[in-house]
Chains A and B, each alone.
Chain A
Amino acid sequence: MTTTESTDVTAAQGIGTSPVRPDGTMKVRGEFAYSSDLWHEDMLWGATLRSPHPYAHITGIDISAALALPGVYAVLTHTDVPGVNRYGLEHPDQPVLAEDVVRYQGEPVAIVAADHPETARRAVAKIDVGYEVLEPVTDSEAAVAGEGPELHPGGNVVRHVPIRFGEQDVTADVVVTGRYEVGMQDQAFLGPESGLAVPAEDGGVDLFVATQWLHVDQQQIVAALGLPKDKVRLTLGGVGGAFGGREDLSIQVHACLLALHTGKPVKMVYNREESFYGHVHRHPATLYYEHGADRDGRLVYVRARMYLDGGAYASTTGAVSGNAATLGVGPYSVPNVTIDCWGTYSNNPPCGAMRGFGAVQAAFAYESQMDRLARACGLDPVEVRLRNAMSEGTRLPTGQVVDSAAPVDELLTRLRAMPLPADRSGEPDLRHLPGGVSNTTHGEGVVRGVGYAVGIKNICFSEGFDDYSTARVRLEALGGEPAATVQTAACEVGQGLVTILQQIIRTELGVEQVTTLPMDTSIGSAGSSSASRQSYMTGGAVRAAALEVRAALVEHAARILGHDRGDLSVGGGKVVSRTDGVLADLVDVLGDAAFDRTVEWRHRPTESLDPETGQGNAHVQYGFAAHRAVVDVDTELGLLKVVALDCVQDVGKALNPQAVLGQIQGGSAQGLGLAVMEEIQTEGGVIRNPSFTDYLIPTVLDMPPMRIEVLELADPHAPYGLRGVGEPPTISSTPAIVAAIRAATGLALDRVPVRPEHLTGT
C-alpha cells in the first residue's frame, strides 16, 4: 500500500513547504469562475417550486398558468423525470421532484426554465399545487418507539447502530448521567448552490457544477435521466466552500432535465434563503449518557442512547449514525461499552454530511460527561481525561485496536502548558467585554471560565466502503523544461487540494512546473472531498501515479545513459547517479518521450460492523485534536465572549503547514459557531431563520486569537504518514467552549448552541 521508496524531500515547493495557491491570483483578482459565474449566450434560467409544508399530500399540480407566461420554456414535474425518480447517497429514497407527497418544507415539486431569472420565479409562483396538509412528524425518540405515521416504507428508523463491548451489566462506584442536545447546524458555505447544464449534440448533457463528489453526482443523475454514463459529463465549477453541504444533489438533476427538455443551456443559482432549503444540514441530536468510574475517575463503563434526526430523507444518516456510535465514548479507553444510536426520519429538513459528521454530536455529550465525572471525583478536568486517555494499542468499543499514534495525553498536556491570556484587571476596556461597544455592561457581572475538550474522528470512508481515488500523472518536456501534468476528479472546494497535489508531484518527480487539469468525470472517481480524506486518498493516488512515472523514467534514463537503473534517481530537474553524481538534465533525457500513468489507489480495507454487537475494524485512521477555551460571560445580560481558543492537533505529517493551520482555524471557528450561535431553528418542521440575518455565523469579532501547536507523529499506514486534518478541530472546539461557560457560571448547559436565555435563566 505505501511505498518505502525514497522521496526527494528537498524539492523546492514540495511537501512540507507552504507554497502559495496556484488559484490564488485568479481569486484575488476576481477572475476565478465560481459555478455561479458560468454564462452561456443562449442560456435559460432555472427556478424551483418548493413545498411550503413540512408534510402534505399533493392532490394536484396545475402548470398551465406558468406555461402560458411569455418567456417560459419549460415547466416540469415528476412525470417529466425520464429515469428513476429517486436519488440518495446511501439509499435512493428522495424524489427528484415530489410525486404524491412532500416530506419537508422546501422539497422540490416543480422546476421552470425561462429566459430571465425573474420570469422563472414568476412562473414558479403561478404553478398551482393542491396540498392536503398533514401533521408533521418531528420526534426522533417517538420514531424509535415506533410511534407516529411511517414516512417511508419500513418505518422511520434509517439505521440503528448498537455497540456491545465488554461486560454489559457492570456497576461502578461513581456514576454520572446526562441528557444533551445538539441543534441543527448549517454549513453556511458562502457561495450558494449553482451550476450550468449544457445539452450536447449526442443527446447527452455537460454539467458544470459546484460539488464535492463528481462521480456520485453523475451516478445519481444518469439514474434519474435514464441515460448511459457517458452521456452525462460533469466538470467542477468554482466552489465557494462546501463543508459537507454539497455532498448531496441540489441543482444537478433539475438543471440537466431542463437543459435536455428545452435543448438550451440552463443555469440555476440558489439565493441564500433557497440554499437553506436546498442542502442537508448537521443532524440535530438528543443524547443520553451514563458514565461509571472508580473513585479515582477511571472509567468502568459508558452507556449511551443517541437519537439523530435525519429529517425527511436518508442522505448520509447511516454513516453519521455509524460515526456517532463507534466514536461515542470519545478518545478514551473504556473497558465496557453499551451504545445504541438511531438515525431517524422526520419531517424536518434533511440532514447529512457536515464537517465532523456524527463525531461532533457525540463529542459534545461525552466531553460534557467527562467534566461531570471530574467534578464527581474531585478531579481537574484535564486530569480525568489523562487518566482515561486512549493511546496506540487501545482497543476501541468496536474491538478495533488503534495501530498508529493516538497522542491524546500529549495533546492535553501540551494544551495545559500553553500560557493563558492575562486576567482582566483594573478598569476594563469596555470594548473587550461581552457585548463590546454597546457598553451594556461595565463588567460588574462578568466572570471568566476555562474549559478543555478533546475529540476523535475517523478519517476517510469506513465500514467496508470501497474507498479509492484515481490520479493521472504525465511527465514530458515542454518549452525546454520538464513539465508535469496532474489530473484527478477530486473537488477543490477551497481547502487547497490543488496546492497539495502539485507539492506531491514536485517532491516525487523533482520538477517545478506542474499543471493541474480541470477536475471532471473524464477520469475515474476520486471519491468525495469529505471525511478529511482527500490529502490521504487523492494525495495517495497522485503519489502512486508519480512513482510509476518515476520508475518508467528511470528505466528510460538507464537505457539512454547506459547506466545501471538501480543507481539512478531523479531530483531537481536532473538525473542523478548515486555514485557518479549528476548525469544529465532531465529535459534532455526526456527528449520527445512522455510518461503517462493512471493509478486507482485504495486505502487498506475496512470491515462492516457486526449488526448485533457493532464489532469490527471499521475505520482506516483516527484524527485527534484538543481545545482549550477561555470565555468571559456576563451573567446578568447573558452575553459572552470567547477570549481565547487554543488547539493542539496531531496531523501525522503537515504536507502544507500553512494549509494545516487554515484548516484548524476555520474548523475551530465552525465549532465556536455551534457552541454559541449557530442553529437552524425549526418549528413543526418549518425553518424560522433561513437568512444570514437570522442564522448567525462567527464574524471576526467573535473569533478570539488562537494558539496552535501541530504534532507530526507519522501514521505508518498513510502516504507520507499524514493524518486527515479538516474535521478534528471542529469537534473539540464546541465542547471546550461550553465547558468554559460552565466553569464561569456553574450552569449545567446541556444544549448547544448556548443562548443568552440559557445563561440568565429568563
Chain B
Amino acid sequence: MQPIRLTVNGDKHEVTVDPRDLLVYVIRERIGLTGTNVGCLTGDCGACTVTLDGRTAKSCSVLAVTADGSEIRTIEGLASPAGLDPVQEAFWKENGFQCGYCLPGMLLATRELLDEDPDPAEEDITRTIDGNLCRCTGYTTILRAVRTAARRAQHRDERPERP
C-alpha cells in the first residue's frame, strides 16, 4: 500500500492505494466522486474520462500511483458555483445524451477542445469525440452540442475586452 496525493476538482486528497488500483476506482470509491463511469475497462468507451494535469485521460487505463501529485478534473468539476459550464449547458439543451453514461468523456473532451480552439473545424470536432462511445444518440446531437458550445465560447470571446 502506498500513500498518494491527488488534487481533484481543486480539493486535496491523500489516499493510501494498492499499486494495482486503477485511478477510476480511487476516484469513484475512495474519493466518492461517482460521476466518472466505468464502461469497458479497456480504454475503448471513454465513460471514465477525467482531465489529468490538463489533458483528458481514460482513468480506467491509469494506475492511481502514477497519478500521484496530479491535478485531476472530473465531470463534477466542470460546473462552477455560478452554474453549468457552457459545454454542459449545450449538451443539456441540445439533447446531446439520453442515458448520459458517456457524458464524462463527451463533456471533458469537448471542454479540452474548446480550451485549445474556440472555433474548431468539423474534423477536429469528430476527432475529439471519436474516442468516446455513445450507444443512445447516434452522435448527431452530440456533434450539434459541441458546435453550440463552440458558438457560445466564440460569442463570449467577442465581448469587448476589459480596459
* Residues of A in contact with B (beta carbons under 8 Å apart): 18, 20-21, 23-25, 27-34, 36-37, 39, 187-192, 239-241, 243, 269, 271-272, 431, 493-496, 658-659, 661-662, 665-670, 691-693, 697-701, 703, 705-706
A31 to B36, alpha carbons, bound, how many Å?
10
User: Which of B33, B41, B44, B84: most chain A CB closer than 10 A?
Assistant: B44
Q: List 5 A-B contacts (CB under 8 A).
A: A30-B78, A188-B135, A243-B135, A272-B40, A493-B99
In the bound complex, do residue A659 and residue B37 qualify as a contact, i.e. CB atoms below 8 Å apart? Answer: no
Residue from B93, B98, B104 in contact with A666 in the complex, judged by beta carbons closer than 8 Å = B98
**With contacts A21-B95, A700-B129 known, is A30 near B140, CB below 8 A?**
no
CB contacts under 8 Å to A, within B75-134, are: 75-76, 78-79, 84, 88-89, 91-93, 95, 97-104, 107, 123, 126, 129-134
- Chain B residues within 8 Å of A27, by CB: 92, 97, 100, 103
A642 to chain B, nearest CB (A): 12
A37 to B35, alpha carbons, bound, how many Å?
8
Residue from A29, A188, A495, A706 in contact with B138 in the complex, judged by beta carbons closer than 8 Å = A706
**With contacts A30-B75, A703-B139, A706-B140 known, is A37 near B34, CB below 8 A?**
yes
- Chain A residues within 8 Å of B134, by CB: 190, 700
A666 to B140, alpha carbons, bound, how many Å?
9
B141 CB-CB contact with A under 8 Å:
yes
**With contacts A25-B92, A28-B91, A190-B134 known, is A700 near B101, CB below 8 A?**
no
Q: A39-B34, A494-B136 are in contact. List 7 more A-B contacts (CB 8 A).
A: A25-B92, A29-B78, A32-B100, A191-B101, A241-B99, A665-B138, A666-B136
A188 to B135, alpha carbons, bound, how many Å?
7
Closest 7 CB pairs of A and B: A30-B35, A494-B99, A30-B75, A665-B138, A27-B100, A669-B138, A240-B101
In the bound complex, do residue A28 and residue B40 qualify as a contact, i.e. CB atoms below 8 Å apart? Answer: no
A36 to chain B, nearest CB (A): 7
B114 to chain A, nearest CB (A): 15
Residue from A36, A189, A662, A693 in contact with B42 in the complex, judged by beta carbons closer than 8 Å = A693
In the bound complex, do residue B98 and residue A30 qualify as a contact, i.e. CB atoms below 8 Å apart? Answer: no
A540 to chain B, nearest CB (A): 22
**With contacts A191-B99, A241-B99, A691-B44 known, is A29 near B35, CB below 8 A?**
yes
**With contacts A21-B95, A37-B34, A662-B95 known, is A271 near B41, CB below 8 A?**
yes
A243 to B39, alpha carbons, bound, how many Å?
16
In the bound complex, do residue A190 and residue B99 qualify as a contact, i.e. CB atoms below 8 Å apart? Answer: yes
User: Which of A21, A37, A190, A243: most chain B CB closer than 10 A?
Assistant: A190
A673 to chain B, nearest CB (A): 9
- Chain B residues within 8 Å of A665, by CB: 137-141
In the bound complex, do residue A28 and residue B141 qualify as a contact, i.e. CB atoms below 8 Å apart? Answer: no
B47 CB-CB contact with A under 8 Å:
yes
**With contacts A190-B39, A666-B137 known, is A693 near B44, CB below 8 A?**
yes
Q: Is the interface of B mostly helix, strand, loop or mixed?
A: loop
In the bound complex, do residue B39 and residue A662 qualify as a contact, i.e. CB atoms below 8 Å apart? Answer: no
In the bound complex, do residue B92 and residue A666 qualify as a contact, i.e. CB atoms below 8 Å apart? Answer: no
Query: Which chain B residue shows the least CB distance to A32?
Result: B100
In the bound complex, do residue A190 and residue B138 qualify as a contact, i.e. CB atoms below 8 Å apart? Answer: no
A28 to B79, alpha carbons, bound, how many Å?
9
A727 to B98, alpha carbons, bound, how many Å?
16
- Chain B residues within 8 Å of A241, by CB: 98-99, 101, 135-136
* Residues of B in contact with A (beta carbons under 8 Å apart): 28, 32-42, 44-45, 47, 74-76, 78-79, 84, 88-89, 91-93, 95, 97-104, 107, 123, 126, 129-143
A507 to chain B, nearest CB (A): 20
In the bound complex, do residue B137 and residue A272 qualify as a contact, i.e. CB atoms below 8 Å apart? Answer: no
**With contacts A701-B126, A706-B140 known, is A24 near B37, CB below 8 A?**
no
Query: Which chain B residue shows the least CB distance to A239?
Result: B99
- Chain A residues within 8 Å of B84, by CB: 25, 28-29
Query: Which chain B residue shows the least CB distance to A271?
Result: B41
- Chain A residues within 8 Å of B40, by CB: 272, 691-693
In the bound complex, do residue A34 and residue B95 qualify as a contact, i.e. CB atoms below 8 Å apart? Answer: no
In the bound complex, do residue B98 and residue A662 qualify as a contact, i.e. CB atoms below 8 Å apart? Answer: yes
Query: Which chain A residue shows the least CB distance to B18?
Result: A118
**With contacts A495-B98, A692-B133, A701-B126 known, is A28 near B41, CB below 8 A?**
no
Residue from A24, A34, A667, A701 in contact with B130 in the complex, judged by beta carbons closer than 8 Å = A701
In the bound complex, do residue B139 and residue A692 qualify as a contact, i.e. CB atoms below 8 Å apart? Answer: no
User: Which of B28, B101, B132: most chain A CB closer than 10 A?
Assistant: B101
B83 to chain A, nearest CB (A): 10
In the bound complex, do residue B88 and residue A29 qualify as a contact, i.e. CB atoms below 8 Å apart? Answer: yes
- Chain B residues within 8 Å of A662, by CB: 95, 98, 136-138, 141
**With contacts A691-B44, A706-B138 known, is A494 near B95, CB below 8 A?**
no
In the bound complex, do residue A192 and residue B107 qualify as a contact, i.e. CB atoms below 8 Å apart? Answer: no
A511 to B136, alpha carbons, bound, how many Å?
31
Query: Which chain A residue shows the least CB distance to B131?
Result: A699
A240 to B130, alpha carbons, bound, how many Å?
20
- Chain B residues within 8 Å of A34, by CB: 34, 37, 101
A614 to chain B, nearest CB (A): 34
Query: Which chain B residue shows the least CB distance to A664?
Result: B138
Residue from B74, B101, B130, B140 in contact with A699 in the complex, judged by beta carbons closer than 8 Å = B130
In the bound complex, do residue B139 and residue A20 qualify as a contact, i.e. CB atoms below 8 Å apart? Answer: no
- Chain A residues within 8 Å of B131, by CB: 699
- Chain B residues within 8 Å of A693, by CB: 40, 42, 44
